[in-house]
Amino acid sequence: MVELHGWFTIREAFREEDESDEVLSSAIFQIEKAISKLSNFNLAAKLMQQNGCYSLLINGNFNHRDSRWTEVTELVQLVSKIAPGSYGILHFHDDEDKNGRENQFQALVMKKGRVQTLIDENLSPFFCDLEDASDPS
């Protein structure tokens, strides 16, 4: 099972003086278009505007890494490319991870136009920290 939960703040530039309403509008349009093409079967993505700021929220649960996983990672990469001032994190757990991380939560971390995968040490290891009832701490 793949479980994922994420948030990203959308910014077109790192510094306020480099911001452009035209660039931001273009990025928002492209993100909305990409979201509209996502599978909505056990996967949700929503672009929100609050207090003049844009946020992308992503949530999903599906049985295996299939095309939905690819769609999510491509969306995150798109955001990092077209709005390089964006930042955020997508936490995920894949109990069938092919790289030996099936017992760990991982995170796609976006900052400064780059996305990298890290181990989430707050929720890992999945067994025994989250599911083993013998140790309540």
Read off the pLDDT of residues 39-53 as tens digits, 9 standing for 90 and up: 989 999 999 999 999
Q: How far apart are CA 31 and CA 45, in angstroms?
A: 10
CA neighbours closer than 13 Å in the CB half-sphere of residue 76: 28
56 burial (CB, 10 Å; 0-12 / 13-18 / 19+) is buried
Whether the model clears a pTM of 0.85, i.e. scores above it, the answer is yes
Read off the pLDDT of residues 82-137 as tens digits, 9 standing for 90 and up: 999 999 999 999 999 899 888 899 999 999 999 999 999 888 777 665 566 555 55
Give the pLDDT mean for 14-24: 89
CA neighbours closer than 13 Å in the CB half-sphere of residue 40: 5
